[in-house]
Amino acid sequence: MKGRSFIEILEILAAWFLAFLWILPLLYAFWAAFHASEHSIHFNLLAPLTLENFREALSQAPFLRYGFNTFVLVTMLLAAQLIVGTLAAYAFARFQFAGSNVAFALVLVQLMITPEILIVENYGTLANLGLVDTILGIGLPYMASAFGIFLLRQAFKSVPKELEEAARLEGCGLFGILMRVYVPLARPTYLAYGLVSISHHWNNFLWPLVITNSVETRPLTVGLGVFASPESGVDWSIISAATLLSVAPLLIAFLLFQRQFVQSFMYAGIK
Amino acid sequence: MNMMIRKTLKGAAAAACMTAMTFGMTAMAQAKTELTMYYPVAVGGPLTKIVDGMIADFEKANPDIDVNAIYAGNYNDARIKALAALKSGKPAQLSVMFSIDLYELIEQDAIIPFDEVVKTDEEKAWLKSFYPTLMQNGVTGGKTWGIPFQRSTIVMYYNKDAFKAAGLDPEKAPASWDELVASGKKLTKADGSQWGMMIPSTGYPYWMFGALTMQNDQVLMNGAGTRTNFDAPATVEALQFWKDLGSKHKVMPEGTIEWGTLRKNFLEGKTAIMWHSTGNLTTVKKKAKFDFGVAMLPANKRRGTPTGGGNFYIFKKTTAEERTAAMKLIKFMTSPSRSAEWSMKTGYMGISQAAYDTDKLKEYVKGFPYAAVARDQLNFATAELATYQTGRVRKALDDAIQAALTGAKTPEAALKETQATADRLLKSYR
Amino acid sequence: MRLSQDQMKHVHGWLLLTPAAILLVSFTHYPTVATLINSFFSKGTAIRPSRFIGFDNYRSMAEDPIFWKVLGNNLWFALGTIPTSIALAIAMALLVNRAMPGRSFVRMAYFTPTILPMIAVANIWLFFYTPDIGLIDKVLGWFGFAGHNWLGDPSTVLPAIIIMTVWKEAGFFMIFYLAALQNIPPELGEAARLEGANRWYFFRRVLFPLLMPTTLFVLINAVLNSFKLVDHLFVLTKGGPDNASNLLLYYIFESAFSFFDTPYAATLTVVLLGLLAAMALVQFFVLDRRIHYR
């Protein structure tokens, strides 16, 4: 650390200390998950390691099924969001249609009034549609995403008009232009939005809690919430094991593609 | 544009596929009677596995019935989910829900009385085979709506090693409030490493409070679920005593005590005494690394505890076959031998004398007499707080208890307010 | 009749918008309006159907001490989380926006809470806060301090919830500041140094104003989160003790799904919608005029 001032060293130490605090919950989850419950709250470094908690968690609740549900939910939702969002963004970016400004303002309303706030009414709607306790029902209110439409509209708007003209001369129709020109050029936006959407819905809890009843539809968060409700007596070892199981896919993906994740969130935020 | 149409068609096809699958599944189920039941867990241990095991045994014995038992979380979640399922495409036919949900379920017109499905003399006898105290929360207006299953009382767990260390007789648990305070003072260590006792005040504060009021010879509500006695002098006194344990006698931490982490506190030796559900007995037995005892709750004017836990209910939206199948399942789950097994594996009480008369439970109690404390305590037990508008009334009482324990309000003021709230909520039911 | 090219664009525009429009109307606009309407009706049960009751729900809400408590809590929660998490986010971004040993690890550590579900980490925070056996009390014990009942004491429970929320949000917001900082030419800093400006002065007069658009974006997110982030309450406190940590959305959930009082939940939701609308207006007419925001 030569050439650094005292203040700088102090700042670096502060940065590390803060990092330690921020990662502490995760560190603890690892500690508790790999130790028997009598060692879970005593930090004796010599305590024996065990995988028993994972076995126990898996046998007490169908986490694999929950994981599958989450996977189906996130995939289906992202696909729908991209399709719906692309079409709407295309409309806003390239068609000066009557009422487009008002329509766009109405879309942006969802940035403020997110589906979480309307759980009561939306529950009623889905009950009428017969979609309570279905994975489709968890996803439906989120399928049109104002955030996605907004991001894609920005991306489409930055595509040079000449490219569109060129494609038209080659005989592309409206859809050809969308698929050959706009979508490929907006790839970074798709990636960024995709990662943000996946992380968000992987972790979403309140609405899935409200709308799901059964094991066949519960995503990981709800399964974990139900499994680890404090009423059933907190055993941090098993809960931590279950927690790690639930976050593992996303956490591993994050560790592997850290750069993309961070840049995607950055990108999505700056637009 | 054809691209979009194709996508829309794909979507429609997918939706159609899903509907077809759902229909297919219902059609297949027609051959077998399919039952869905929700159940809650409010204590520690692998209870879901035990329930699954019992259900598997039932399905083996009844190949024509398929049971889908869904663990729904705590008691509140179970009620929410079971009722929500009624409105969805996959309704439940029966469920284990809080014994105190009775009035809410009746008001929602969601359940049927067992008197409608009990036909033969044998079944009528079965209905009478349970401990009468456990039936109190299941009977109203002369009809039986709930059959006891995972039932409990509150018992006092205590750390015998800590008792010995404090110079107390480990075989003699405190039997009165005065003794409790006196022992608590001896057990509380000045450096804060060990408390004399803990009574949980989150999760189900009203339940613990029901014990304290009963010990002060006061019940919290009338049998019709339309009146509460929250501001009765004996009720106020009971809350004052609870608060005093922390603020005056200093034998319990001040503020609220978390229901979920209390067992861990006890197992870690941070408290010498805890009041908790008998449902925790087996887990404590497995995990305690010290000699522990289980005793009835102490008395002030008398001994007392509310019963607690879950009952079986049958929903109204059911076909005759489903009701028959549900009855079969309930009879199976509550049979003496199953009840004995359930009690041994969890610590919940056997729900009938016949369960305690089975050889296996007799044997178990002989080797582990604490397994019978909850049953013996039934002689002093009363129904758990249950009224119309249960959710609101309970929350009001819970809030009052927590307000008093945290010092935000005096017990008297808090309970007066709560009584006013309860009166307002229940007025139209009287 | 043939439509001209110019007219076709209206048709195409609306056709493309249709799927999004249907979904948005069904799950955002319609429920917003329906919430308002339902707040004027009574609770219907199997025995008594729901009927129009004017402002009765609003009257009972005004008389409901829990509502006022919850509203107050939510404002404190917002006040506690928003400035703290934004200040921390800026500090974090400044700390890691330069060469330092272990930089990528530090960045990753800050960002990790963003990808962890609140409901999962809440149980771990429960361990931190548990009296006597929890981590905080243990650490305090090493230094000879007595433990504290963090979640069981009404004066510490809301701060405890706030701290967890700040932990969750700060790293997320940091990312945006980091992006903004990277777009600021380094020459600015050098020029300031040459002119002898101290770092605080440079931050206050140069950096912070340049970061203003980012701050606005983050601020909106933080405000929204302070009203919709309630997942951790399900595990940590259930709003207790005595509603000391109850928040508006959690109370809406309780009213609707625990007490089955949909009209009352709708009435509470109207308040929440009103707060959000007020915020949107403030953002539009006050902040937007004062900050250049593209």
Q: Is residue C241 a part of any domain in this protein?
A: yes
Give the pLDDT confidence score for residue A271 in this predicted structure: 54
For residue B98, the cross-strand partners are B310
CA distance C211 to C216: 9
In this structure, are B92 and B40 located in the same domain? yes
Which residues, given as ranges, of chain B have pLDDT below 70? 1-31, 43-45, 88-89
Q: Give the B window 300-319 contacts with A, CB below 8 Å.
A: none
Domain boundary among B334, B353, B372: B372
Q: Is residue C105 a part of any domain in this protein?
A: yes
In this structure, are B286 and B253 located in the same domain? yes
C161: burial class by Cβ within 10 Å (0-12, 13-18, 19+)?
Answer: buried
Q: Dump pLDDT digits (tens) for B245-256.
A: 999 999 999 889
Q: Would the CB atoms of B46 and A60 count as touching at under 8 Å?
A: yes
Give the pLDDT confidence score for residue C292 in this predicted structure: 47
- What mean pLDDT is predicted for residues C12-34? 94
Residue C44 pLDDT class (50, 70, 90 cuts): confident
Q: Do residues B186 and B250 lie in contact, with contact meaning Cβ atoms separated by under 8 Å?
A: no
Mean pLDDT of chain C: 87
In this structure, are B187 and B225 located in the same domain? yes
DSSP symbols for C71-96: HHHHHHHHHHHHHHHHHHHHHHHHHH
Name the residue facing B76 among C126, C131, C258 (closest C-beta): C258
Q: Which residues of C are less than 8 Å from B402 in CB distance?
A: 240-242
In this structure, are B55 and B129 located in the same domain? yes
Q: Which residues of B are less than 8 Å from A138 in CB distance?
A: none
Domain boundary among B351, B372, B393: B372
Q: Which residues of B are less than 8 Å from C152 in CB distance?
A: 201-202, 253, 255-258, 406
Give the pLDDT confidence score for residue C158 in this predicted structure: 95
Backbone angles phi, psi at C123, to 5 degrees: -65, -35
In this structure, are B167 and B177 located in the same domain? yes
Q: Would the CB atoms of C117 and A110 count as touching at under 8 Å?
A: no
Q: Helix (H, G, I), strand (E, B), or coil: what is residue B295?
A: strand
- Burial readout A132-149 (b: 16 or more C-beta within 10 A, e: otherwise): bbbbbbbbbbbbbbbbbb
Q: Which one, of B160, B157, B163, lies nearest residue B374 by Cα?
A: B157
Is the CB of A18 inside 8 Å of chain C's CB atoms? yes
DSSP symbols for chain C: -PPPHHHHHHHHHHHHHHHHHHHHIIIIIHHHHHHHHHTTBPPP-SSS---B-TTHHHHHHHT-HHHHHHHHHHHHHHHHHHHHHHHHHHHHHHHHSS--TTHHHHHHHHHHHHHS-HHHHHHHHHHHHSTTTSHHHHHHHHTTPPP--TTTSHHHHHHHHHHHHHHHHHHHHHHHHHHHHHTS-HHHHHHHHHTT--HHHHIIIIIHHHTHHHHHHHHHHHHHHHHH--HHHHHHTTT-STTTT--HHHHHHIIIIIS--HHHHHHHHHHHHHHHHHHHHHIIIIIHHHS---
Q: Would the CB atoms of C254 and B395 count as touching at under 8 Å?
A: yes
Name the residue facing C20 among A149, A209, A236 (closest C-beta): A149
For chain C, give the percent of residues with pLDDT over 90: 44
Domain range for C141 is 57-290
Domain range for B19 is 2-151+308-372
CA torsion through residues A93, A98, A101, A104, sign? negative
pLDDT of residue C76 exceeding 90: yes
In this structure, are B128 and B215 located in the same domain? no
Number of domains in chain B: 2
Q: Dump pLDDT digits (tens) for B16-44.
A: 444 444 444 444 445 688 999 999 887 66
CATH code of the domain containing B230? 3.40.190.10
Which chains border A (3 or more CB–CB pairs < 8 Å)? B, C
Q: Please give the ipTM for the structure prediction.
A: 0.89
The domains of chain A, with CATH numbers, are 55-270 (1.10.3720.10)
Q: Would the CB atoms of A265 and C28 count as touching at under 8 Å?
A: no
Is the CB of C150 inside 8 Å of chain A's CB atoms? no
Give the pLDDT confidence score for residue A40 in this predicted structure: 80
Which residues, given as ranges, of chain A have pLDDT below 50? 1
Give the pLDDT confidence score for residue B60 in this predicted structure: 93
Q: Dump pLDDT digits (tens) for C176-211.
A: 898 888 888 888 877 877 777 777 888 888 888 888
- What mean pLDDT is predicted for residues C257-261? 85
For residue B143, the cross-strand partners are B140
In this structure, are B212 and B172 located in the same domain? yes
Q: Dump pLDDT digits (tens) for A97-141.
A: 888 899 999 998 898 899 989 999 999 899 888 888 899 999 999
Alpha carbon of A119: minimum distance to chain C alpha carbons (Å): 8
Q: Do residues B204 and B259 lie in contact, with contact meaning Cβ atoms separated by under 8 Å?
A: yes
Mutation for testing the A interface, residue in C25, C27, C214 having most A CBs under 10 Å: C27
Is the CB of A252 inside 8 Å of chain C's CB atoms? no
In this structure, are B198 and B138 located in the same domain? no
Domain boundary among B350, B372, B394: B372
Number of domains in chain C: 1
